[in-house]
Structure 1
Amino acid sequence: MTSASGKLTSEHFKTWLKDVYFPNVGHSSVLLIDSWSGHCPNAVKEAAPPNKIVDVKIIPKGTTGKIQPLDAFGFRVWKNYVRRFEDSITLMNEDIELHKRNNIIKLQTL
Structure 2
Amino acid sequence: MGERTTEVTVKKKNNVTHSYTVQPVTSAVGQLLGKFLLILQEKENEFGRRVQKDLLEPSNVVVQASKSGKSSDEKHRIFLNEVLRPLVGRKFLLFLDCWKTQADLTKFRAVFPNQNSQLLIFPEGSTGYIQPQDISLFRSWRYFHKKIEHHIHINRTEMTMNDRQYFINMHSVIHNQLSAP
TM-score normalized with structure 2 length: 0.39
Flag the structure with higher helix content: 1
Question: How far 1:59 sits from its partner (Å)?
Answer: 0.5
Matches within 5 A, 1:1-110: 1-40=64-103, 41-48=105-112, 50-73=113-136, 102=162
Structure 1 stretch 68-77 or stretch 15-24: which is displaced more? 68-77
SS in 2 for 1:56: strand
Identical aligned residues as a percent = 33
Q: Secondary structure at the match of 2:92?
A: strand
Q: How many residues align?
A: 84
Distance in 2 of aligned mates of 1:21 and 1:52: 13
Give the conservation status (yes or no) of the 8 Å contact 2:122–2:131.
no
CA pair 27-75 structure 1, distance change in 2 beyond 3 A: closer
Provide structure 2 residue ranges, at least 5 long, that are not aligned to the other structure: 1-63, 143-161, 171-181
Given the two structures, how large is their TM-score scaled by the length of structure 1? 0.60
